[in-house]
Amino acid sequence: MRTIFDTLTLEQLRTRTSEKWRHYPADVLPLFVAEMDVPQAEPVIRAVHDAMVRGDTGYPNGHGLAEAMAGFAATRWDWAVPVERSRLAADVMVGVVEVVRLLTGPGDAVVISPPVYPPFTTFLQHAGRHIVHAPLGVDRRLDLDALDYAFGRASLHGRRAAYLLCNPHNPTGTLHTADELAAVGALSVKHGVRVVADEIHAPLVPTPDAQFVPTTTVIPDAIALHSASKAFNLAALRAAVAVPGPEATDLEDWPDPVADGVMHLGVMAQTAAYTDGGAFLDEVLAGLHHNGKLLQRLLEPVMVWEPPQSTYFAWLDLRAFGDDPARSLLKDGRLAVNPGATFGVEGAGHVRLNFATSTAILTDAVSRLTTVLGGAGHGHVPGPQRGPGPERGPDVSGARPG
Ligand SMILES: Cc1ncc(COP(=O)(O)O)c(C=O)c1O
């Protein structure tokens, strides 16, 4: 089957100048950062082109992006987004930091669930927040006991605290269920910890039997961050929408400098994506569904792996193949993936591989991987089986995890 990911050749992709295609030398196959190997959606191309032709390159105005996102949310998730109470930010991580600043003070704690998107740690530390870990369980789902303990520590002596939830979870693709979110909500009430949900990957659920549950529909005082940038490959045209739950009034204090940092071109591109990009997104989802199955088959000779519930990341447990498989894959296979340890110590011995790419590239990538691991390995890997590996594996790349 040919999918949207088979539209562009490797040669065409190598003309791109973004992080994915320029961080490593040209003999390295880059399956690391969260960029997709797809052509851009026609409605987005038209919106950006028309804006440039109009010279429409001033400052953003109005609720257009929030309205477009609300329309998308109503159609895809039957979720009524409160447009008037939502706020814009330059991108999701800027939005996350600003929401955390509204909910907590300097030196207060924010709980995260590693292995998780590495900028959760770096951005929060940069914002002067103390990080408390509540790692995912071995089943790659939220560990409610760990959260209970972490929330207790974070809110000790009545301090303000927040939980930065990743829903869906990067890198595992875990979709949190309504029951899990309700349990998190109960813990947040018990400890007075506010929930901030990064929902940037929410549109990327390629399997019909899996369902994204918007956090604020279950936890009424949570605040969620959304963007079209992952699902529509728009990291170059960033924008984000902060959506408050029905009981969250905090965004009334959204600071002007944050609202002023929003890029008009990003707003227009993302508005077009949310409004008219449905057919493109459906092609992406069909392609991801196909790629997940393809990758599963390709990996069979070396390991048992199942496609994730969401996102385009394969979180591969390669602990049986040495402590730093990403380094071996880069050095010996010229294949760039994200080292698992950069997502937290729990990720040591794992790698994150981005499968939003063509059949040809994926096939080449797995051939490189099996060749390298065939030399390093202990055979077939049925699942987690060895100890957690080293405290921290070196980041072989210094590259963005995306
Ligand atoms: C979970 C998560 N949050 C945020 C981002 C980055 O979003 P932005 O570029 O809008 O800050 C990414 C990028 O891959 C991500 O995976």
> What does the DSSP assignment read for 242-258?
EEE-TT--GGGG--HHH
248: domain CATH number is: 3.40.640.10
* pLDDT band, residue 390 (cuts 50/70/90): very low
Q: What is the mean pLDDT of residues 121-138?
A: 98
Indicate the residue among 276, 303, 338 that finishes a domain. Answer: 276
Residue 34 CA: nearest ligand 1 atom is 14
Asked whether 166 lines ligand 1 (CB < 6 A), one says yes
Helices (H), 192-321: 256-260, 264-276, 278-299
Q: Is residue 260 a part of any domain in this protein?
A: yes
- 89 shares a domain with 31: no
Tokens standing for 85? 């109470």
Phi, psi of 283 (to 5 degrees): -65, -40
Q: Is the pLDDT at 37 greater than 80, yes or no? A: yes
- 166 shares a domain with 68: yes
pTM over 0.85: yes
- 123 shares a domain with 241: yes
Q: What is the pLDDT of residue 378?
A: 47
- 190 shares a domain with 110: yes
Asked whether 97 lines ligand 1 (CB < 6 A), one says no
360: domain CATH number is: 3.90.1150.10
Asked whether 120 lines ligand 1 (CB < 6 A), one says no
- Give the distance (Å) from ligand 1 centre to CA of residue 60: 21
Q: Is residue 199 a part of any domain in this protein?
A: yes
Q: 295 vs 301, which has greater pLDDT?
A: 295
Q: Is the pLDDT at 58 greater than 90, yes or no? A: yes
Q: Residue 327: is it exposed, middle or buried by C-beta count within 10 angstroms (0-12/13-18/19+)?
A: middle
Q: What is the pLDDT of residue 282?
A: 98
- 321 shares a domain with 250: no
Q: Is residue 138 a part of any domain in this protein?
A: yes
Q: What is the pLDDT of residue 13?
A: 98
Nearest alpha carbon, ligand 1 atom 13: 402
Asked whether 235 lines ligand 1 (CB < 6 A), one says yes
Phi, psi of 162 (to 5 degrees): -135, 160
- 90 shares a domain with 205: yes
> How high is the mean pLDDT of the chain?
94
Q: What is the pLDDT of residue 226?
A: 99
Nearest alpha carbon, ligand 1 atom 12: 402
Asked whether 96 lines ligand 1 (CB < 6 A), one says no
Q: Is the pLDDT at 396 greater than 70, yes or no? A: no
Q: Is residue 397 a part of any domain in this protein?
A: no
Asked whether 92 lines ligand 1 (CB < 6 A), one says yes
- 343 shares a domain with 206: no
CB 387, CB 344: distance < 8 Å: no
- 230 shares a domain with 123: yes
The 10s digit of each residue's pLDDT in 186-225 is 999 999 999 999 999 999 999 888 999 999 999 999 999 9
**161-166 and 109-112 strand pairing:** parallel
- Give the distance (Å) from ligand 1 centre to CA of residue 157: 32
- 122 shares a domain with 200: yes
Asked whether 229 lines ligand 1 (CB < 6 A), one says yes
Amino acid at 123: F
- Give the distance (Å) from ligand 1 centre to CA of residue 285: 19
Q: What is the pLDDT of residue 402?
A: 72
Largest CA distance in the chain: 61
Phi, psi of 337 (to 5 degrees): -130, 170
Q: Is residue 307 a part of any domain in this protein?
A: yes
- 236 shares a domain with 301: no
The 10s digit of each residue's pLDDT in 71-83 is 999 999 999 999 9
Number of domains the chain contains: 2
Asked whether 129 lines ligand 1 (CB < 6 A), one says no
- 218 shares a domain with 290: no
What three-state secondary structure class fits 167? coil
- 313 shares a domain with 168: no
Which residue out of 112, 136, 200 has the highest number of ligand 1 atoms within 8 Å of its CB and is therefore the one to mutate? 200
> Residue 346 is part of which domain span?
4-40+279-375
* pLDDT band, residue 374 (cuts 50/70/90): confident
Q: What is the mean pLDDT of residues 15-19?
A: 98
